[in-house]
Homo-oligomer: A and B are copies of this chain.
């Protein structure tokens, strides 16, 4: 009989928590006891997991010694403290909050790219799952780098409302409905109106003028690629979509790389769909990516002016491969090879 692991999902009521509750039983994850954790206001609420209704337990006083594995889909402020408690109780934590960005002993892992770093979980007991944009970039750049070397890249990330959680989605929906009814739509959660608008995602802005979101995507991507000091330019913009992170990528290779060759490599890569949305000129979140476990790549083309430049358009479901699915893949590898 296969080993079973008791697991906790911290942040089970959130969007990534919801995706984890879908994906784990859908992939027959060998879960023994499953604990759904959230803030005490949500305790007692019942949520679905694998066809059963489970009661939500309060995160604040949960005894982590009951589990071997914790999926942490919490805001960064809470994630560090919960990881500390889980570790003290002997559980391994898989975290997608970005809270461990400046802790080099915590490996940033995209299983298709750098599974060899997983064993570093032993140093702190934590494995980090990068942000959706970093996962997309790392997967595609890893393929490019392996074939032709990588000298740098530029990306503009189009982030949907759900990247800001349920509150972000509710704000976009409410603003849109108010505008269609001829009513004013003030920004509350976001710094400017999002409905029918685009604005930079800044949050904390560093002295350099880069935003925390941009630094996060840059550092995570480099970390997953195992690069230290590649030139990287990232701009993150919020767009009025609910789901799906899209990225415009310009990659500069060390050696020439033909578009046909790159297309063949992408078509052969597990978890990448390089044909979706072709009839529409390229894949889009709503038509192709949302609900899919694939990373969609389109518009692969040589740069018109830079001989070793390649331009691509990437789209993924930010809650699945961008977050929950990547966490589950990390867990599956941990169980298989390391625990």
Q: How far is the CA of A230 from the CA of B306 in the complex (A)?
A: 9
Query: What residues of B have a CB within 8 angstroms of the CB of A311 in the complex?
Result: 209, 233, 235
Q: Mark A305-317, 1 if CB is under 8 A from B, else 0.
A: 1100101010000
Is residue A130 within 8 Å, beta carbon to beta carbon, of the partner chain? no
A304 touching B176, Cβ below 8 Å: no
Q: Using known A-B contacts A230-B305, A259-B209, determine if residue A241 contacts B197 with beta carbons closer than 8 Å.
A: yes
Is residue A191 within 8 Å, beta carbon to beta carbon, of the partner chain? yes
Give how many A residues have a beta carbon under 8 Å from the other chain's beta carbons. 65
Is residue A285 within 8 Å, beta carbon to beta carbon, of the partner chain? yes
A285 touching B191, Cβ below 8 Å: no
Nearest-neighbor residue (CB-CB) of A235 within chain B = B248
B241 touching A196, Cβ below 8 Å: yes
Query: What residues of B have a CB within 8 angstroms of the CB of A154 in the complex?
Result: 154, 233, 250
Q: Mark A162-178, 1 if CB is under 8 A from B, else 0.
A: 00000000001100110
Query: What residues of B have a CB within 8 angstroms of the CB of A218 in the complex?
Result: 304-305
Within 8 Å by CB of A211, from B231, B259, B281, B303, lies: B281
Number of chain copies forming the complex: 2
A167 CB to closest chain B CB (Å) equals 17
Query: What residues of B have a CB within 8 angstroms of the CB of A210 in the complex?
Result: 301, 304
Query: What residues of B have a CB within 8 angstroms of the CB of A172 in the complex?
Result: 196
B229 touching A305, Cβ below 8 Å: yes
Q: How far is the CA of A236 from the CA of B74 in the complex (A)?
A: 34
Q: Spot the interface stretch: A14-22, A85-93, A199-207, A267-275.
A: A199-207
Q: Mark A292-327, 1 if CB is under 8 A from B, else 0.
A: 000000111111111001010100000000000000
Q: Using known A-B contacts A246-B198, A311-B235, determine if residue A192 contacts B305 with beta carbons closer than 8 Å.
A: no
Within 8 Å by CB of A199, from B173, B209, B250, B284, lies: B284
Nearest-neighbor residue (CB-CB) of A201 within chain B = B281
Q: How far is the CA of A313 from the CA of B156 in the complex (A)?
A: 11
- Beyond the given pairs A198-B239, A200-B298, A209-B302, 7 more chain A to chain B contacts, judged by CB atoms under 8 angstroms and listed by A's residue number, are A198-B244, A198-B246, A199-B287, A208-B304, A231-B309, A233-B305, A233-B306
Instruction: Name 21 interchain pairs, CB-CB below 8 A, sorted by A.
Output: A154-B233, A156-B248, A158-B239, A176-B180, A177-B180, A192-B281, A192-B286, A197-B241, A197-B285, A197-B287, A198-B239, A198-B285, A202-B281, A202-B299, A209-B301, A211-B281, A218-B305, A230-B305, A233-B309, A235-B313, A237-B248
